Structure 1
Amino acid sequence: MTTFDDREKGYESKYALDQEQEFKAIARRNKMLGLWAAEKMGLSTDSAEQYAAAVVRADFEQPGEEDVFRKVAGDFKGSGLTVSEGELRSKMDELASIAREQIRAGE
């Protein structure tokens, strides 16, 4: 095997690891977002865990994060809470950063 082949395999392995970590970070972000939203809606602890799981599942509806945004925004509206699009997107970004740091730290 040549040095070029070794380097290519190394890049492929790093790419696969990066993708796996990003997937885990986004799933963690979605769970944290669900727990945050559940708290704002005044859900019980058990209901909050179930809601957070539903937010994680919502991310599998289509590529990107719009499905998660729509779910949480719609649930806020349905519960009579007014949360601006900017506030929700800002919280999503904040939690994504926290989740990425946690994944990198091995938490």
Structure 2
Amino acid sequence: MAIQVPTELLDGCVLGVLSRQDYYGYALTQEVRQHLPISESTLYPVLRRLKKNGWLTTYDEAYQGRNRRYYRLTRTGQQQLATIQTEWTHFKTAMSGLLEGNQDE
């Protein structure tokens, strides 16, 4: 995919994945990669920013002698996801109208 994903949509993608369950960083990257071409070096700054905004929280769990940092959606993160989902619906409708040549959209 050659289209760059805007920051707010990438935020929404991460928040959407985390709305289903908690993930540690690598597993979250793999989950998002199933749908978008994204690298860990792109995702980790997004996670830090989302945590700084209060939309995510973290906790560590031991795994094979090491700690994995898990990310969890907060209540304000859920609210932000709902906002992004609403904005996405409007954006998607407008873009479909333009790209498909529909004048009524």
TM-score when normalising by structure 2:
0.33
Q: Write 1 or 2 for the structure with the bigger share of helix.
A: 1
| Structure with larger Rg | 1
Q: Write 1 or 2 for the structure with the bigger share of strand.
A: 2
> Looking at both structures, which has the greater relative contact order when contacts are Cα pairs under 8 Å and sequence separation is at least 6?
1
